[in-house]
Structure 1
Amino acid sequence: MHLAPPPSNGPITGSRPIHALPSRNQAFTGRIALLKRVSNNMRRAGEGGAEEHGWVSLIGMGGIGKTQLALEYAHRHADDYGLVWWVGADQPAAVMASLTALASQLGLTAVQPSLLIRALWVELAARRDWLLVYDNLDDLGGMNDLLPPDGGRLLITGRDPRIGRIGTRIDITEFERDESITLLSRRCPSLSPEDADRVAAAVGDLPLSVEQVGCFLDETGLETADYLTLLKSQPTASGLDDRTVSAHPGLVSVVVTSRDRLVTTAGPAAAALLDRLAFLAPEPIPLGSDPTVGPPRFGVQLGDTATAALAVRKIVTLGLARHADNALQMHRLVHTLLRARLPLAEHGGIHHAAEELLATITLGDPDTPESWPEYGLIVPHVRELLSSAAALPGIQLDAEAFRALVLKVQRYLYFSGQSRSAVDICRITRDSWMARLGPDHPDTLHSGYNLASNLFELGEYAQARDVDQEVWDRRRRVLGRDHQDTIRSAHQLAADLCDLGDFAGARALDEEGWRHRRRLLGESHPDTLQSAHYLGSDLYELGERERARDINADVWKRRRQVLGEDHPDTLHSAHHLASDLCDLGELEQALELQRWVLGQRRHRLGQDHPDTLRTEHFLAITLHRRGEYPQARALNEDVWDRRRRLHGDDHPDTLRSAYSFADDLCALEDYTRARELHRDTWMRRCRVLGENHPDTQRSARALAAVPISP
């Protein structure tokens, strides 16, 4: 503390300043907007333009920089006040001691401490030039008599959101990235801006950790890559347990102390819940409601209402997580340190409990867009549990309900057009379940089926075929040829063969599946209609356009009756029927149907979903065949650009757009550019699909047919 002492020749009066503050942080960085908010709320205008004396509460987790912000404000504005006094407020006794010392500085005396505090409040009520800072006020109990009177200004810092009821609440969040980089560069001048950015991202821009890590890197001279490895593998040895220059406890101590307090204030069950949450991802975790007391709410089920409320309340008040929009979220370093403090032998059991906790979430149909926002919230947690399972000691069994959840998430990623992410999750899952459950377990086979589906969407047809062939063989042996899962595998394998150019092989598999389902399920069952849809696609590729049109028209009609107008499967049928109509020269009907499908898909799936882009692509083909070459060219070029961004230059769908765009250029007599694009497309198809693939041969013929420019 720096205290401006009173003169020795008389009692202190309101005209003589008293400033008692900790030393200023010379490395204080940024926070310009927050400092302005504090200042504005300290000196806000009241009715009639008169200045009101503000009370402000700075709320946030441990290490977020509340104390440093309050200290910087107090030093910047110290000359505005005749009295500035810093109170360490972590315990009522400490507050009492600090206020008693202030009373003594003001020349006040009393027989009892409580009477001395009352005299202090009388003194402060008579003047308007004071600022008190209550730092780290986390226990409201017993504080009623220790809060000052109105008149001056009070600045409070604390983790408990309830403290925000005292005055104006300002939530303190992490540094902006440029603030993190600035502080890291001050503490470790040798750190490049690029490396500072990587380090800041790794510590989640938490000010305390930015300070600690900057000092640690400067002292140790570690290369950034080595430090990031250390932070991930041994976080408690990465400088996070060091005290800062301002003697603030390290983040490790803050987290461990808070977790210990959770046990004493909310009980072991709340602490066990916190440990399970630490095995999920450091992303928002939606909280469900107790289904026994009302309509269920989306989120994890924490138990009965009273138990859940106590646990969440204490976790938040101790600064171990934030609670917003009915979700809990830990900072990534708190998440890492909570997991690191647990003995490795306990990880397996807690990981299993975390799987069971996440599986309490009830999710909708992964095929429909209405359910996708909820799925998007839990994907990070599924990925985290799957990724961390590999590091667990011994063979661990996945929770059965969690496996069901994982399979639904894989399907969601496929239908929402996120196949690249889905492939990663499917591969991790399949490898894990192969070892834990065996290759013939239904869940292992289902995950393999989902993996192949997403490989297909990425244009990896040969890889998809290999996986589908294995899954189909195992399902035939384990489940039998007539099992619906076996038939689904046969159809998916047929799709691989079709896009690899084996149209006859695809037709044989699809026709067999269609016959099985008609016999087992009936003509209008959704699965039978799916089989007929696949068969129609094969016939289209084999040149039997009339029969393909008739099948697709019948399937579309039945799907509208069974599934509804805007069901994804209904839209698939309409899309394929429009393609048939276009190839048969029924261009007006094709154009009308394509525009209707496009409107539906844009509304339900978004502009850049793969299915939306497919419909736009075929709409451009129809425009071309109607002779509307400029319109076709504009649409094809736009779809081509978006497919390149979404899939890359070599994806089969991207190459289809490039081929159609080149056709438009040729029709518009831009022969030089058409030839260049057809040549590039042909070369890419040779590399991706092989020289004998029908699409490659089609490109070769188109290239040869481009006229030589005069």
Structure 2
Amino acid sequence: MQVISAPSPETTTRLRPIRSLPSRNQAFTGRTALLERVAASMRDGGQDGPADEPGVVSLIGMGGIGKTQLALEYAHRHAQDYGLVWWVGADQLAAVMASLTALASQLGLTAVQPSLLIRALWVELAARDDWLLVYDNLDDLGAMNDLLPPDGGKLLITGRDPRIGRIGTRIDVPEFERDESITLLSRRCPTLSPEDADRVAAAVGDLPLSVEQVGCFLDETGLETSEYLRLLQSQPTESGLDDRTVSAHPGLVSVVATSRDRLVATAGPTAATLLDRLAFLAPEPIPLGSDPAVGPPRFGVRLGDTATAALAVRKIVTLGLARHADNALQMHRLVHTLLRARLPQEEHGVIHHAAEELLATITLGDPDTPESWPEYGVIVPHVRELLSSAAALPGPQLDADGFRALVLKVQRYLYFSGQSRSAVDICRITRESWTERLGPDHPDTLNSGYNLASNLFELGEYAQAKEVDQDVWERRCRVLGMDHPDTIRSAHQLAADLCDLGDFAGARALDEQGWQHRSRLLGEDHPDTLQSAHYLGSDLYELGERERARDINEEVWRRRQRVLGETHPDTLHSAHHLASDLCDLGELERARELELWVLEQRRRRLGEDHPDTLRSRHYLAITLHQMGDCTQARELNEEVWNRRRQLHGDDHPDTLRSAYSLADDLAGLGEHARARALHRDTLVRRRRVLGEGHPDTKRSAQALAEVPSAP
């Protein structure tokens, strides 16, 4: 800030109060904490130490976030604290000069040249400390450097450019809190219920400008909330977002359009094209990668060479079109919607394809390993957005090859991280889309079908999983041949469906065939061969060949320890199944020790609620029951049952397994009435979900019959 020494107090002339402020917004809502923070910063400076200048505050945020209204409300509330309060529209240099010239005139200053008049104004202000200047919508800090006032009074600045925050104390202005949005919507549209106001506020992302516009629009049109939300989704520019507000602020449509035009002018068409691509991703943080030509790659999308990427990001943020934090860009959902809506419909397909290619520049780790899962979690919303919007594109479309590979990895991540419900939605969309665009026999279509069936199986939808797996297996047999690795994987997955549908012999036939193929092609110690042997051991267990199943599972476990490592997920699967065999064969102490060890590994690696962790806890409870410790078994089973109910629902086969085991514990503890009730409920659900002839249904019927009736 330019500093001019103030004259001595004796020469300072105190003038009558001078005011020049826009009219106060009578509908100003909330922002209590922000106003208090502005006042404290004006008085004491910021919280970041001596670098902050007391009395200088910069309000930073995107267009429509409410910076101007916040500054105006502060100025009106505190006007009586100052002898001079002057509002300066700072978006254009000429407007600043005109406003400051008018202020100089009010102070009785004259000069031949504008520059001399401004200098005289600074001398006058430096001589007093009772003034507040508000520079609203300051965009070009460089051009305004000589037009910033001297020290002594107070300066409040609003702007979108984060660099303005270097002046004084920076305060980032966020969206409304939800209760603030609901309050303003209710003022503008009194007929709107609190529940509907909440839905509308969520749809517009609590952006103050849009809340104001939408409230007025709903009051004027009388549209039902659901009807309006459909309009906002399908035709956002016709939903009131182009209207000026009561305070004559331009509508959000105009704000966004003007900002994009300025992006073209200041950063070139490449930056604007990049912005359009980002608008086809989700309105969630988009991580930014680095140029691999200049150093180790950083997780995120690659925007081009370093200079091009830096300019584009800088200008996008400066114009308030997105936020930049934690090495990621994020658009507000309405900016995102309006940027996409302004593009001609015939261009959507090309830009959508370019957005797929952009997202595919991200390098991701192994989706099977938890270490990579946080990065996948960031990408899922963008993948989902691109897949969902593809259906609305005009004419035939082709997915980018790299994007399809990314989608398949995301499907695997969702499966291995225990998010099968989300995975099923994505898998169904891609299988249908790729069947139409690539054909039903394309490798990516078949991979997506395979992933769909895997996740349906995890959800307990065994019949649906079998139908999909049967189709994929038959196509792979025909297209790839019986010995192809993908064909064998499909055979094993189909066998798993058959096993849980009660067809243990059919499952064994497929698994034994797969094991023979892999043994011949890959050798006994190959991880895939060991997987086949593991499946075969599970089938033998279900067929009652417990000792042979135990021997196979123990051998596979030993080999996997040597080949894959002691804590590899596949090794843990073998240990888990071996413990189950040992329990059934009466080797209870060894079974318990092994189950406790597997449980600890899975807890540490996967977390408490992962399906594999819950399976370990469930089978540990069964072993404890067999050892006669029904009290501890009941505690474990009840907790796992409740977790599974929350995760999967009451009818999921895993939930019903927990209910069955819990009922057994209750019976063992003499709580016969509750045991009978739970066995009866489980039987009804298994009949409906699995069918009357399923082995689990028969076990439930037998268990219910064996529980003594209440006296």
Conserved in 1, the CA contact under 8 Å of 2:188 and 2:219?
A: yes
Q: Decide which moves more: 559-568 or 473-482.
A: 559-568
Partner of 1:168: 169
Partner of 1:569: 570
- Matched AA of 2:186: S
Structure 2: distance between partners of 1:317 and 1:142: 15
Structure 2: distance between partners of 1:368 and 1:52: 49
Q: Secondary structure at the match of 1:43?
A: helix
Conserved in 1, the CA contact under 8 Å of 2:408 and 2:447?
A: yes
Structure 2: distance between partners of 1:57 and 1:357: 35
Partner of 1:401: 402
CA shift digits 1:601-654 (9 cap, x unpaired): 111111111111100000100111111111000110000001000000000000
Partner of 2:634: 633
Q: Secondary structure at the match of 1:673?
A: helix
Residue 322 of structure 1, CA deviation:
0.4
- Matched AA of 1:291: P
Residue 93 of structure 1, CA deviation:
1.7
Structure 2: distance between partners of 1:173 and 1:207: 9
Partner of 1:264: 265
The 3 A distance-change label for structure 1 pair 45 and 198 is closer
Conserved in 2, the CA contact under 8 Å of 1:84 and 1:132?
A: yes
Partner of 2:420: 419
Listed as ranges, the gaps of 5+ residues in structure 1 are 1-11
Residue 13 of structure 1, CA deviation:
4.5
Partner of 2:488: 487
Conserved in 1, the CA contact under 8 Å of 2:46 and 2:169?
A: no
The 3 A distance-change label for structure 1 pair 445 and 103 is same
The percent of aligned pairs where both chains have the same amino acid is 86
Residue 425 of structure 1, CA deviation:
0.3
What is the TM-score of this pair, normalised by structure 2?
0.97
Conserved in 1, the CA contact under 8 Å of 2:359 and 2:403?
A: yes
Structure 2: distance between partners of 1:119 and 1:579: 90
Partner of 1:20: 20
Structure 1: distance between partners of 2:439 and 2:647: 35
Structure 1: distance between partners of 2:210 and 2:45: 37
Within a 5 Å distance, the mapping from 1:419-458 to structure 2 comes to: 419-458=420-459
Partner of 1:72: 73
Partner of 1:196: 197
Q: Secondary structure at the match of 1:134?
A: strand
Residue 419 of structure 1, CA deviation:
0.4
CA shift digits 1:555-614 (9 cap, x unpaired): 122222222222211111111111111111111111111111111111111111111110
Partner of 2:474: 473
Conserved in 1, the CA contact under 8 Å of 2:289 and 2:362?
A: yes
Q: Decide which moves more: 550-559 or 110-119.
A: 550-559
Partner of 1:288: 289
Partner of 2:585: 584
Structure 1: distance between partners of 2:552 and 2:613: 23
Structure 1: distance between partners of 2:103 and 2:567: 73
Conserved in 1, the CA contact under 8 Å of 2:459 and 2:648?
A: yes
Partner of 1:3: none
Structure 1: distance between partners of 2:46 and 2:219: 49
Q: Secondary structure at the match of 1:683?
A: helix
Partner of 1:7: none
Q: Decide which moves more: 492-501 or 147-156.
A: 147-156
CA shift digits 1:420-451 (9 cap, x unpaired): 00000000000000100000000000000000
The 3 A distance-change label for structure 1 pair 52 and 156 is closer
CA shift digits 1:501-542 (9 cap, x unpaired): 000100000010001001111111111111111111111111
- Matched AA of 1:528: T
Partner of 1:558: 559
CA shift digits 1:439-472 (9 cap, x unpaired): 0000000000000000000000000000000000
Partner of 2:509: 508
Residue 14 of structure 1, CA deviation:
2.1
Q: Decide which moves more: 96-105 or 672-681.
A: 96-105
Residue 52 of structure 1, CA deviation:
7.4
Structure 2: distance between partners of 1:568 and 1:307: 43
Partner of 2:7: none
Conserved in 2, the CA contact under 8 Å of 1:43 and 1:52?
A: no
The 3 A distance-change label for structure 1 pair 572 and 46 is closer
Partner of 1:615: 616
Conserved in 2, the CA contact under 8 Å of 1:671 and 1:706?
A: yes
Conserved in 1, the CA contact under 8 Å of 2:288 and 2:328?
A: yes
The 3 A distance-change label for structure 1 pair 342 and 484 is same
Q: Secondary structure at the match of 1:149?
A: coil
Q: Secondary structure at the match of 1:169?
A: strand
Partner of 1:600: 601
Within a 5 Å distance, the mapping from 1:211-290 to structure 2 comes to: 211-290=212-291
Conserved in 1, the CA contact under 8 Å of 2:88 and 2:99?
A: yes
Conserved in 2, the CA contact under 8 Å of 1:536 and 1:548?
A: yes
Structure 2: distance between partners of 1:663 and 1:52: 71
Structure 1: distance between partners of 2:549 and 2:178: 57
Residue 285 of structure 1, CA deviation:
0.4
Q: Decide which moves more: 600-609 or 318-327.
A: 600-609
The 3 A distance-change label for structure 1 pair 46 and 326 is closer
Structure 2: distance between partners of 1:61 and 1:314: 13
4+ residue runs over 6 A deviation: 45-49
CA shift digits 1:217-253 (9 cap, x unpaired): 0000000011000000000000000000000000000
Do structure 1's residue 32 and structure 2's residue 61 form an aligned pair?
no
Residue 53 of structure 1, CA deviation:
3.8
CA shift digits 1:77-132 (9 cap, x unpaired): 11111111100000122111111111111111111110111111111111111111
Structure 2: distance between partners of 1:266 and 1:615: 57
Conserved in 2, the CA contact under 8 Å of 1:174 and 1:207?
A: yes
Listed as ranges, the gaps of 5+ residues in structure 2 are 1-11
Structure 2: distance between partners of 1:150 and 1:231: 47
Q: Decide which moves more: 566-575 or 127-136.
A: 566-575
Q: Secondary structure at the match of 1:661?
A: helix
Structure 2: distance between partners of 1:46 and 1:87: 23
Aligned positions, number:
699
Conserved in 1, the CA contact under 8 Å of 2:491 and 2:510?
A: yes
Structure 2: distance between partners of 1:54 and 1:622: 70
The 3 A distance-change label for structure 1 pair 45 and 483 is closer
- Matched AA of 2:604: H
Partner of 2:655: 654
- Matched AA of 2:614: L
CA shift digits 1:149-202 (9 cap, x unpaired): 111111000000000001111111111111000000000000000000000000
Conserved in 2, the CA contact under 8 Å of 1:240 and 1:251?
A: yes
- Matched AA of 2:454: S
Residue 46 of structure 1, CA deviation:
10
Do structure 1's residue 101 and structure 2's residue 102 form an aligned pair?
yes
Conserved in 2, the CA contact under 8 Å of 1:53 and 1:152?
A: no
CA shift digits 1:289-333 (9 cap, x unpaired): 000101100000101100000000000000000000000000000
Do structure 1's residue 665 and structure 2's residue 666 form an aligned pair?
yes
Partner of 1:372: 373
Structure 1: distance between partners of 2:233 and 2:279: 14
Structure 2: distance between partners of 1:565 and 1:78: 72
- Matched AA of 1:597: V
Partner of 2:43: 43
Do structure 1's residue 143 and structure 2's residue 160 form an aligned pair?
no
Conserved in 1, the CA contact under 8 Å of 2:45 and 2:55?
A: no
Conserved in 2, the CA contact under 8 Å of 1:13 and 1:106?
A: no
Conserved in 1, the CA contact under 8 Å of 2:45 and 2:56?
A: no
Q: Secondary structure at the match of 1:133?
A: strand
Q: Decide which moves more: 580-589 or 26-35.
A: 580-589
Partner of 2:310: 309
Q: Secondary structure at the match of 2:329?
A: strand
CA shift digits 1:360-394 (9 cap, x unpaired): 00000000000000000000000010111111111
Partner of 1:5: none
Conserved in 2, the CA contact under 8 Å of 1:633 and 1:664?
A: yes
